[in-house]
Amino acid sequence: MRSCLTSKRQLMALVLISVVLSLWGCYESGFPLGSPEAGNLDTAILGTWRCVQGGEEQNKSFLITAMPFDEKQYYVGMDMEGEKAVHYRAFSAAIKDTTLLNLQELDPKSATSERKWIFIRYTLLKPTILQVELVKDEAFKGMDPSPSAVREVVEKKIASQEFYQDFCLCTKVGEKK
pLDDT, residue 109, reads: 87
Predicted pLDDT at 14: 39
The model carries a pTM of: 0.81
Tell me, what's the pLDDT at 25?
Answer: 77
DSSP secondary structure, 111-172, as one string:
-GGGS-EEEEEEEEEETTEEEEEEEBSGGGTTS--SHHHHHHHHHHHTT-GGGEEEEEEEEE
Q: Are 91 and 36 in contact (CB under 8 A)?
A: yes
Instruction: Provide mean pLDDT across the span 19-34.
Output: 73
pLDDT value, residue 58? 64
How does pLDDT run across 76-117, given as a tens digit for each residue?
Answer: 999 988 888 999 999 999 999 999 999 999 988 888 888 999
Q: Above 90 in pLDDT, residue 11?
A: no
- The C-alpha atoms of residue 104 and residue 106 are separated, in whole angstroms, by 6
Query: pLDDT digits over 109-146, tens only?
Result: 888 888 999 999 999 999 999 999 999 999 999 988 89
Domain locations in the chain?
2-172
- Residue 18 dihedral angles phi and psi, to the nearest 5°: -60, -45
pLDDT at 31: 93
Confidence class for position 13, pLDDT limits 50, 70, 90: very low
Per residue in 41-67, pLDDT (tens digit) is 999 999 999 999 876 666 778 999 999
Backbone angles phi and psi of 47, in degrees to 5: 125, -170
Burial 131-146 (b: 16+ CB within 10 A, else e): bbbbbbbebbeeeeee
**Could you tell me which residues come within 8 angstroms of residue 15 by beta carbon, excluding any fewer than 6 positions away?**
none
Which of 26, 32, 27 lies closest to 147, judged by CA? Answer: 32
Which of 126, 148, 125 has its CA nearest to residue 30? 148
